Structure 1
Amino acid sequence: MILEVQAGTLIKRYKRFLADIELTANALVNAKQTTIHCANTGAMKGCAEPGDTIWYSTSTNPKRKYPFSWEITQSQANHFICVNTLRANQLVEEALNQGLIAELSGFSNLQREVKYGNENSRVDFLAKYQHAPDTYIEVKSVTLLDNDYGYFPDAITTRGQKHLRELIDMVEQGHRAVLFFAVLHTGINDVAAAGHIDTNYAKLLKEAQTKGVEIIAYKANFSFKQDQLTMSLSKKIPFIER
């Protein structure tokens, strides 16, 4: 995935969807403050500290009130974090279609946002194989780094708990079910369930593993060339219990 981005400095994030930044001065613009859109409704712990460098994209849609979208945080520890939650599924789809996820290669058809389960859900991806069970893939974006460890979730998630129940049901019906962690933080090298944040999610995830739900985690690579950002899911990392 390639994005055209510009840099600024975070002043504050507020109302979940908005952030104020100071634009970086260049030949075209003097340094000034502006408001940008934030497509992340989560807690964003450690990803939105005042003074962090913010990389934002620009929309050409004239109807948008805020044309700038917060894409990447470059933390003061020099970690790169993709905070735009829309990018996780896009990166996973790109990696799947390019055959970069070995555990999920060889499918004959890949569908997005397919209705499934007993709780009115939509699975992120449904991979169909000619000689293997249908595979239901639920994607979660991981950005929480806590005491040098990566965790999911970063807040209590009843929606995430529902998705785990749905994946368990798919396994019990004879399908294959995968929880895919897209790790979008360069400082994270393994992932664990954040039982200290959402005890119920951690317990349900352990149950899901026991019942046959697979857990796969891949880490994103970030590469900058002038104002062009390239991201890809390039490295498998372990899911562990803590």
Structure 2
Amino acid sequence: MVYTVCKKEQRKNRKRGQSENMKYEHITEGRFIDRPNRFIAHVEINGQVETVHVKNTGRCRELLIPGVQVFLEKSSNPARKTAYDLICVNKKGRGLINMDSQIPNKAALEWVKAGYLFPEKVQVTPEKTYGNSRFDLYVCSEKRKAFIEVKGVTLESDNIARFPDAPTERGVKHLKELIHCMQEGYEAYLLLVIQMKGVDRFEPNWETHREFGETLQEAERAGVHILAYDCLVEPDRMEIQDPVLVCLASDWK
């Protein structure tokens, strides 16, 4: 069955604070050279070639192109093998994309705690275990008990954000676990944190992992809330901002 979801959640009319504005320190600009493996890259910084840590083990081939401008955070730990973390890429025609795979969960935690997702005051617990599953966030209040799984999205083409950028059996498992939570009486959410600004919509990456897209459709039919938000990205910060259209129709054969 072909299924389509097109939703825009209204932003809460609240004064934006620092709670969901994730800051970095000691930012340095560089030029990407190459990536020998998933964990490190070579970057030219102030005329010197440095080996840096890549804070994303995904492929990111459309981002890490030789010569592209990148931004790095200098570590405060002098004992580290690598002095810098690669966190942000200036993609031609798109602008800044944050590729730090750790920041979506941190940003989502602060964003939910700040009251941008639910109208009432909630308690938020990260990394909550339920049965054989562990979810990124557990939210409870007098009105609700909810599990939230967070996915960072860095893949974009033709102004469309897509996930995943590589086959993800783990992602499929998370969706099935969210469906199980719904069946047990909990609310369940998939929060897609799009680590860039200005995309038109989100779609599953059907060509890369069709099973993920089909399971995402199944989850939505089961009542799982599928939400996507873009982010304001600057070299030293990322801030969750506006809802993005979610379209689950499959046109790929």
TM-score, normalisation: structure 1: 0.89
- Structure 2: segments with no counterpart, 5+ residues: 1-21
- Contact 1:182–1:220 (CA<8 Å) still a contact in 2? yes
Q: For the aligned residues, what is the CA RMSD? A: 1.5
1:142-175 Cα deviation digits (max 9, x unpaired): 1111233111111100000000010000000010
Q: 1:11 aligns with which of 19, 33, 36?
A: 33
Matches within 5 A, 1:54-93: 54-93=70-109
Does residue 1:111 correspond to 2:125, yes or no? yes
User: Residue in 2 aligned with 1:28?
Assistant: none
User: Residue in 1 aligned with 2:229?
Assistant: 218
For 1:84 and 1:10, the matched residues in 2 are separated by 15
The letter of the residue matching 2:83 is: P
User: Residue in 1 aligned with 2:11?
Assistant: none
- Contact 1:51–1:76 (CA<8 Å) still a contact in 2? no
Shift of residue 10, structure 1, vs aligned partner: 0.2
- Structure 1: segments with no counterpart, 5+ residues: 26-30
The letter of the residue matching 1:129 is: S
Matches within 5 A, 1:223-238: 223=234, 229-238=236-245
Does residue 1:180 correspond to 2:201, yes or no? no
Shift of residue 107, structure 1, vs aligned partner: 4.0
For 2:176 and 2:121, the matched residues in 1 are separated by 24
Q: 1:169 aligns with which of 177, 180, 183?
A: 180
1:171-207 Cα deviation digits (max 9, x unpaired): 0001000000000023533111111110111111100
- Contact 2:113–2:123 (CA<8 Å) still a contact in 1? no
- Contact 1:3–1:57 (CA<8 Å) still a contact in 2? yes
TM-score, normalisation: structure 2: 0.85
User: Residue in 2 aligned with 1:50?
Assistant: 66
1:187-228 Cα deviation digits (max 9, x unpaired): 53311111111011111110000001100111110245xxxx
For 1:203 and 1:63, the matched residues in 2 are separated by 46
For 2:121 and 2:170, the matched residues in 1 are separated by 27
Which gives a bigger RCO, structure 1 or 2 (Cα 8 Å, sep 6+)? 2
For 2:237 and 2:56, the matched residues in 1 are separated by 20
Shift of residue 51, structure 1, vs aligned partner: 1.1
- Contact 2:147–2:186 (CA<8 Å) still a contact in 1? yes
User: Residue in 2 aligned with 1:195?
Assistant: 206
Q: Identity of paired residues, percent? A: 29
1:36-71 Cα deviation digits (max 9, x unpaired): 001211111311111111100011123311120011
Q: Tell me the SS of whatever aligns to 2:35.
A: strand
- Contact 1:36–1:66 (CA<8 Å) still a contact in 2? yes
For 2:212 and 2:170, the matched residues in 1 are separated by 10
Structure 1: which 4+ aligned runs deviate by more than 6 Å?
A: none
1:67-110 Cα deviation digits (max 9, x unpaired): 20011011122521111100111111121122233xx3424310
Q: Tell me the SS of whatever aligns to 2:92.
A: coil
- Contact 1:89–1:139 (CA<8 Å) still a contact in 2? yes
For 1:148 and 1:205, the matched residues in 2 are separated by 21
For 2:94 and 2:196, the matched residues in 1 are separated by 11
